[in-house]
């Protein structure tokens, strides 16, 4: 039976129309979410008990100097006017000037973000490499001692404050055993032994060709990467176990077992394959959480990343830097969330069928 060309063109036009509507809906959702994020960060920055003028001029500045800087910052304008000016500046790519570094906030973010990204990438690799197999094994061995151990390990990683784990890790593995490097990215003796190219310490030290410097960088990044990897593994293993239990109780798994399929085929080729679709969203959100929650780890390890930059700026009353850093991290989290949702729709055959 042949299909009428007019029918095919009508279906193609319908799919294109649905795709365009879906993309427009996604773009509108992103725009509204980011606008809400900008508004939230801006107004929180205005109500916190930190005076940006005093941060600039100091507490002993004469009143006329204070008033002049107050007007230059636009703080004499109504709050809604200040917000509109802030939106205008953001649209131009201007996040303001940092009072503590005396550089553009966007320039600081581009400088410090690679260290945070590198740490988060290593953490999510460790989290996925350990969390997914652990969650699968726990689901297959449900209510056995293996399942209980996986759940206890995940519960500890998910419940214990990460800054406490970081402090204990430094005490045990650095101060006592001396298995890893201390705070910072490199020992002071290696600090000027390489050229900053990408901002990623492992990449830059490898490009330098001095493998002693690279090994020192590995010793410094190992412990913080393992800790955030453990934190990520705890979340991913719990969610993987939950998703796998749902898949293993499905009718198609029962049918595969009745047909005589091996346990490996049932678990890996059927259950895990279908579980991989929601796991995409889980991993993406976990990665966003590592970027968002890097403040404590970076502060404890003196890691020169965006989280440490935001924390130090907050302590110094540098609200432009705090708002700019928070806005960037929040934007990345929103984009990861939307991207994982789009990827979920792309991978899920049910959504493909519905789009036909």
pLDDT of 115-172, one tens digit each?
A: 999 999 999 999 999 999 999 999 988 889 999 999 999 888 888 888 888 899 999 9
pTM summary value: 0.82
94: in domain: no
Of 2-6, 144-148, 190-194, 345-349, which gets the smallest average pLDDT? 2-6
Q: How confident is the model at residue 334 (pLDDT cuts 50, 70, 90)?
A: confident
DSSP 54-118: HHHH-TT--HHHHHHHHHHTTTTS-HHHHHHHHHHHHHTT---B-TTT-SBHHHHHHHHHHHHHH
Provide the phi-psi class of 58: left if phi over 0, else alpha when psi is between -120 and 50, else beta: left
For 347, what's the count of Cα atoms within 13 Å in the CB-facing half-sphere?
15
Other beta carbons less than 10 A from residue 97's beta carbon:
18
Q: Is 83 exposed, middle or buried (0-12, 13-18, 19+ CB in 10 A)?
A: middle
State how far the Cα of 117 lies from the Cα of 12, in Å rounded to an integer. 41
- Indicate the number of domains in the chain: 1
Q: Does residue 190 lie within any of the structural domains?
A: yes
Please state, in angstroms and rounded to a whole number, the distance separating the CA atoms of residues 208 and 233: 32
Name 97's bridge partners.
104
CATH number of the domain at 330, please.
Answer: 1.10.3720.10
Beta bridge partners of 104: 97
Residue-number span of the structural domain to which 341 is assigned: 107-355
Q: What pLDDT, in 10s, does the model give residues 232-249?
A: 999 999 999 998 888 888
In-domain check, residue 311: yes
Q: At what angle do helices 5-47 and 319-347 cross, to 10 degrees?
A: 160
Residue 80 resides in a domain: no
* Assigned domain for 347 exists: yes
In-domain check, residue 153:
yes
The stretches of the chain forming alpha helices (DSSP H) are 5-47, 52-57, 63-72, 79-91, 105-140, 145-159, 162-169, 201-208, 211-248, 251-258, 263-264, 273-292, 294-300, 306-315, 319-347, 349-355
**For 251-288, what is each residue's pLDDT tens digit?**
887 888 888 777 778 888 888 888 888 888 888 888 88
- b/e 194-214 (16+ beta carbons within 10 angstroms → b): beeeebbbbebbbebeeeebb
> Among 155-159, 172-176, 337-341, 342-346, whose mean pLDDT is lowest?
342-346
Residue 70 lies in a domain: no
Q: How many CB atoms lie within 10 A of CB 85?
A: 12
In a domain, 99, yes or no: no
**Confidence at residue 14, expressed as pLDDT on a 0 to 100 scale:** 60
Which of 19-23, 29-33, 59-63, 109-113 has the weakest average pLDDT? 19-23
């Amino acid at each position: 039976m042949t299909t009428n060309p007019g029918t095919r063109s009508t279906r193609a036009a319908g799919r294109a129309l649905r795709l365009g509507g879906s993309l427009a809906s996604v773009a509108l959702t992103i725009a509204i979410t980011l606008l809400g994020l900008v508004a939230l960060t801006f107004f929180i920055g205005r109500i916190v008990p930190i005076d940006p003028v005093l941060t600039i001029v100091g507490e002993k500045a004469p009143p006329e100097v204070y008033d002049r800087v107050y007007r230059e910052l636009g703080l004499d304008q109504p709050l809604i006017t200040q917000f509109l000016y802030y939106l205008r500046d953001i649209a131009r790519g201007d996040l303001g000037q940092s009072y503590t570094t005396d550089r553009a906030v966007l320039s600081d973010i581009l400088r410090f973000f690679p260290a945070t990204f590198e740490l988060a990438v290593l953490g999510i690799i460790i989290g996925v490499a350990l969390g997914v197999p652990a969650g699968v094994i726990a689901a297959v061995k449900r209510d056995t001692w293996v399942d209980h151990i996986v759940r206890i390990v995940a519960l500890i990683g998910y419940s214990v404050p990460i800054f406490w784990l970081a402090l204990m890790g430094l005490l045990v593995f650095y101060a006592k055993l001396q298995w890893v490097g201390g705070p910072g990215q490199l020992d002071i003796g290696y600090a000027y032994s390489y050229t900053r190219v990408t901002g990623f310490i492992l990449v830059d030290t490898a490009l330098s060709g001095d493998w002693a410097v690279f090994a020192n960088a590995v010793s410094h990044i190992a412990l913080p990467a393992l800790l955030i990897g453990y934190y990520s593994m705890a979340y991913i293993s719990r969610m993987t176990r939950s998703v796998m239990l749902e898949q293993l109780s499905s009718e198609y798994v029962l049918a595969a077992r009745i047909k005589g399929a091996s346990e490996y085929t049932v678990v890996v080729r059927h259950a895990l394959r279908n579980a991989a679709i929601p796991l995409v969203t889980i991993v993406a959100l976990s990665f966003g959480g590592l970027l968002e929650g890097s403040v404590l780890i970076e502060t404890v390890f003196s890691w020169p990343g965006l989280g440490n930059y935001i924390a130090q700026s907050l302590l110094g009353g540098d609200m432009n830097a705090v708002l700019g850093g928070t806005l960037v991290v929040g934007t990345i989290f929103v984009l990861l969330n939307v991207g994982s949702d789009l990827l979920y729709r792309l991978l899920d055959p049910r959504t493909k069928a519905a789009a036909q």
